[in-house]
Amino acid sequence: MDDIVVIGAGQAGASLVAKLRALGHMGKITLIGEEPAPPYQRPPLSKAYLLGKMELERLYLRPESYYAENNVTLLTNTTVQSIDRSDKVVIAGGRAIPYDQLALTTGSVPRQLPPAAGGLLRGVHVVRALRDVDEMAPDFTEGRRILIIGGGYIGLEAAAVAAQRGMQVTLVEMADRILKRVAAPETSDYFRALHQSHGVTIKEGVGVERLTGEGALDGAILSDGTELAVDTVVVGIGISPATALAEAAGLEIENGIKTDAMGRTSDPAIWAAGDCASLPFRGDQIRLESVQNAIDQAEAVAANMLGAETPYDPKPWFWSDQYDVKLQIAGLNMGYDGTVTRGDGPAMSVWYYAGDTLRAVDAMNAPRDYMLGKRLIEAGISPARDVVADPSANLKALLRG
Ligand SMILES: Cc1cc2nc3c(=O)[nH]c(=O)nc-3n(C[C@H](O)[C@H](O)[C@H](O)COP(=O)(O)OP(=O)(O)OC[C@H]3O[C@@H](n4cnc5c(N)ncnc54)[C@H](O)[C@@H]3O)c2cc1C
Kindly state if the Cβ of 289 falls inside 6 Å of ligand 1. yes
Rounded Cα–Cα distance for residues 219 and 319 (Å): 32
Which ligand 1 atom is at minimum distance from the Cα of 39?
49
**Mean pLDDT on 278-285:** 94
User: How far is the CA of 159 from the CAs of 139, 146, 151, 189, in angstroms?
Assistant: 13, 9, 9, 16
pLDDT, tens digit (0-9, with 9 covering 90-100), for 335-363: 999 999 999 889 999 999 999 999 999 99
What count of other Cβ atoms lies within 10 Å of the Cβ of residue 294? Answer: 27
Q: Is 356 exposed, middle or buried (0-12, 13-18, 19+ CB in 10 A)?
A: exposed
Q: How many helices (H) and strands (E) does the chain have?
A: 10, 26
Contacts of 109 (CB under 8 A, 6+ apart): 128, 239, 240, 242
Rg over alpha carbons for the chain, rounded to the nearest Å, is: 22
pLDDT at 401 (0 to 100) = 64
Q: For residue 192, give the nearest of 178, 207, 206 by alpha carbon.
A: 178
User: How far is the CA of 226 from the CAs of 87, 95, 208, 308, 331, in angstroms?
Assistant: 57, 52, 10, 58, 39
**Mean pLDDT on 263-277:** 98
Kindly state if the Cβ of 9 falls inside 6 Å of ligand 1. yes
pLDDT grade, residue 156 (50/70/90)? very high
**Mean pLDDT on 217-238:** 97
Report the residue among 5, 125, 275 best suited for mutation to probe ligand 1: largest number of ligand atoms under 8 A from its CB. Answer: 275
Rounded Cα–Cα distance for residues 226 and 196 (Å): 19
Instruction: Report the DSSP pairing between strands 284-286 and 277-281.
Output: antiparallel
